[in-house]
Chain A
Amino acid sequence: MSTKNKLKTKLRIKLGTKNEDTWCPGCPNHNILESTKRVLTKLIGKGYKQEDFAMVTGIGCHAKIFDYLNISGIYGLHGRVLPTALGIKLGNPNLTVLGFAGDGDTYAEGMAHFIHAGRYNANMTLVVHDNQSFSLTTGQSTPTSQQGYKNKAKPFGEFDKPLNPIKLALASGMSFIARCNARDVAHTERILEKAIRHKGFSFVEIIQDCLIFNLEANNKDGLMYKISDNKNKKKAEQLAEEWDYNNKHGRIPLGVIYQEKKKTLEEKWPQLAALSKTLRKRKISRKRKTEIK
């Protein structure tokens, strides 16, 4: 092994934890964890500090990632990833904040927060593990479940058509919108890196099959295709329309669907700019002190 690779392995171990893995065997949540570890390893290799990351999770299968990732964070309430993460940015704008949320979490319980995130445009990343089901509560339908989905709470099948989170994100003015496939670890890693590096609010919707509930919704890989990064709004709207979340027709574009430059929360508030400077200075002087010791 080259020294560079050795370093990477060491870091990867530091990013993992010894907690028991309680996801179902083969659950694609594992892949999202893997992509995240890879991107964090890469960023830490390039100068980001491990202690400068902070994550927020909702409640659901997706949220267990909190216990498997050795970075700071808050295992928050169901549906409240976004306000909690926003609070972290208001408290310390220098932290790199990652939110991991479910589709039930984001589009049902926490929808009010989702549509405001684009306006605030805080410099942070929201990752939605969209399995089109409330999995941890045993498979009820979420706002992205397909019409007709029969589950224990809806024996007549889901009456309503799903909403399209990508269209909603565009309408809400989010400055970075992307879609990934959990199974494609390398692509997800690349998109996550772009999302984290984007200055402003980044929304990454990850299509994640659940192996236990809403099986009809699974295995859409054949419809998926990768696009190159798009910055054109009209084009983004077309891309968003290509798949309606309701059936397995059409094509599912993956990649950066839209990106634009917009003033961030941290740039809008002079208090945050000032705090960012003070904290950075303090950190440098602390580092100097330890070096002298």
Chain B
Amino acid sequence: MRLNILIGGKAGQGINKVSEIVSMILIKQGYFVFNYRDYPSLIRGGHNFNILSVSEEKIGSYQSKLDGIVALDQKTIALHKNKLKKGGFVVDSKDFENLGRNLNLALAGALIKILGIDNKILMEEIKKEFNKKEALSAAEKGLASQKNIFNIKKQNNNNITLMTGSQGIAQGAINSRIDRYIAYPMTPATGVMHELAASQLKNDKTISHNNNKNIHQHNHQNNLLVFQAENEIAVVNAALGASFTGAKTIIGTSGGGFDLMCEGISLQGQSEIPLVIYLAARPGPGTGVPTYSSQADLNIALRGGHGEFPRIVIAPGDPLECIEKTNEAFYLSEKFNSLSVILSDKHLAESWFSSDRKPNKILNVKSSRNRKIPGKRIVKASSYEHDEMGYTTESAEIAAQKAKGRLLKYEKIQKECDKFEMIKIHGKKKSKNLIIGWGSTKTVILDAIKGLDYKFLQVLYLMPLSDKIREEMKKAKKIILIEENMTGQLGRIIREKTSLKIKHRILKYDGRTFSSDVLRDEILKVKNEYKK
């Protein structure tokens, strides 16, 4: 069974609340859900919608055809009814009058009834969260307004967590015992700032909506401080200052802010002060389409900052990987005094993903206060080429030696990265048909190739790039590259590394992410081209 329900309305009407209540009930019933969020850059009005996808099997995407629409305004029906399957349902908010803010609860009630879930489960949930007469009666009105269409029976899946990528990054940072998060607001990176800001001085169990013990492994009060600086240039320089003193520091931004940080990134390369950057991409150039998604910032993640110096670029593909890879980013950055970039995008940062996997054990990131830090001894870090003491030098010999040192460090980093999952192989392991992709397209690719004769190579480490990519490509007969950018940026770096060109590319660059059924069709189209 797979259902796709669109919940739409004006910004500020609370469509997220409807999806949230229903999603929480569904995961407790043992269902996997995925919630895509689509909204323009405005605060009140306009048109926002979520697509809530439900299945008893693992899913990580939505589909283009809808089983139902929940409309908080008439525009939602007008805009989306052409995607409704035959016999699809419409819940119209017109039928509920004078409920005010409790309209969400009535709509959640209507949806629960349609799905065929026991009324009591919703009422208990609402009692727990709101416990107000008006709230309960709104939910009851909703339940009474509809007839049961589907038959959602409790499944045997336990411990399903619901998380966004932003929560994953925040949890990974907390697991690495960070001290400072410094940022300037920019969608879609801001989610992490909000999550961490709310968890300051609290017990580490506070992140993520459901208190699944799978996710929360630490249990101590943090001394985390979240600082909003005057701009991204201040952010990156302040982060280097903080990290210089031994504070484990992460900064977060999107493309435009990352551009502003580039000189500071380069300073990291020269000063070798550990730094972790979270880069959540959206479509550019310029301000672009700011509340939508894109994988076009891989290039700048790999190359931003002048000069030649080592860095690590990691792209998790789902919230659990966000937890794990953020932890690895800290581990590597502290071990090698280097730069780690965690690359994500709007789709991963803000969609709700469900999973029953238990994340890997937390890597212990050594306390940076054991490094050479001021307060214990005299330490000098510099943006100039410098000698061992940190004093400026213009000597040709030292300059060459230091440059080679940086290259050597990269080789060591490469070796260490081999210990981690730099790539993952999914799908039919023996298939000769290979799909290559990275980042937030992971879960939609997994859904699109279900049952097809395809192997999926997910690249998690984009720098360094794993040697196994070439081996896998050599074994394959057909290769398809899937990316959400216009030029196939991963394809280019793979070609640079392996000298292998990928002929078939499925690229999307309209700011919207793939839906799994459309992507499946595109993959099948490529297959047919081979047959010709």
Contact = CB atoms under 8 A, between A and B. Distances in A.
A95 interface: yes
Contact of A51 (B180, B225, B375): B375
Contacts of B242: 87-88, 90-91
Interface in A260-293: 269-272, 274-275, 278-279, 283
B375 A92 contact: yes
B245 A91 contact: yes
Given A50-B378, A87-B241, A77 B247 contact: no
Q: Choose among B201, B225, B244, B376 the residue with the greatest number of A CB atoms under 10 Å from its CB.
A: B244
B304 to A, nearest CB: 15
Interface of B: 179-180, 182, 200-201, 223-225, 227, 229-231, 233-235, 237-247, 249, 263-264, 267, 271, 273, 373-384, 386, 390-392
Nearest to B267: A77
B234 A90 contact: no
5 contacts: A50-B378, A51-B378, A59-B383, A75-B382, A87-B237
A101 interface: no
Contacts of B227: 90
A74 B244 contact: yes
A72 B380 contact: yes
A73 interface: yes
A91 B230 contact: no
A74 B390 CA distance: 9
A278 B377 CA distance: 18
A73 B245 contact: no
Contacts of B182: 87, 90
Nearest to A89: B241
A100 interface: no
Given A83-B234, A91-B242, A76 B376 contact: no
Contacts of A66: 380, 382, 392
B382 A83 contact: no
Contact of A92 (B245, B264, B390): B245
Most buried by B among A71, A89, A91: A91
Interface in A46-96: 50-54, 56, 59, 64, 66-67, 70-77, 80, 82-92, 94-95
A24 interface: no
**Which 3 pairs show the lowest CB-CB distances between chains A and B?**
A87-B241, A91-B245, A87-B238
Q: Is the interface of A mostly helix, strand, loop or mixed?
A: helix
Contact of B230 (A87, A116, A270): A116
A113 interface: yes
Contacts of A270: 201
- Please indicate which of the listed interface residues B179, B180, B237, B383 has the most CB atoms of chain A within 10 Å of its own CB: B237
A26 to B, nearest CB: 22
Given A59-B383, A75-B383, A83-B229, A279 B241 contact: no
B179 A91 contact: yes
B231 A74 contact: no
Given A74-B240, A269-B225, A91 B234 contact: no
A113 B235 CA distance: 11
Given A72-B374, A269-B225, 20 more contacts: A72-B380, A73-B380, A75-B384, A75-B392, A76-B240, A77-B264, A83-B229, A83-B238, A84-B238, A86-B238, A87-B182, A88-B245, A90-B238, A90-B247, A91-B244, A94-B375, A112-B231, A113-B230, A116-B230, A271-B225
Given A88-B244, A88-B245, A51 B383 contact: no
A87 B224 CA distance: 14
B201 A95 contact: no
Contact of B223 (A19, A52, A73, A274): A274
Contact of A88 (B200, B231, B241, B383): B241
Contact of B237 (A83, A89, A271): A83
A85 B273 CA distance: 14
A71 B205 CA distance: 41
B499 to A, nearest CB: 38
A247 interface: no
Contacts of B229: 83, 86
Contact of A77 (B230, B383, B391): B383
A9 interface: no
A51 B377 contact: yes
A73 B373 CA distance: 10
Contact of B374 (A70, A75, A92): A92
A17 interface: yes
A141 to B, nearest CB: 23
Interface in A95-115: 95, 112-113
Most buried by B among A52, A74, A94, A270: A74
Contacts of B390: 75
A164 to B, nearest CB: 22
Contacts of A283: 375
Contacts of B244: 74, 87-88, 91
A94 B267 CA distance: 25
Nearest to B382: A75
B381 A54 contact: no
B240 A84 contact: yes
A17 B391 contact: yes
Given A54-B374, A80-B233, A19 B241 contact: no
A86 B241 contact: yes
Contacts of A84: 237-238, 240-241
A113 B180 contact: no
Contacts of A112: 230-231, 233-234
A91 to B, nearest CB: 3
Most buried by A among B224, B240, B390: B240
Contacts of B225: 90, 269, 271-272
A112 B235 CA distance: 12
Contacts of A87: 182, 237-244, 249
Interface string A170-199: 000000000000000000000000000000
A267 to B, nearest CB: 14
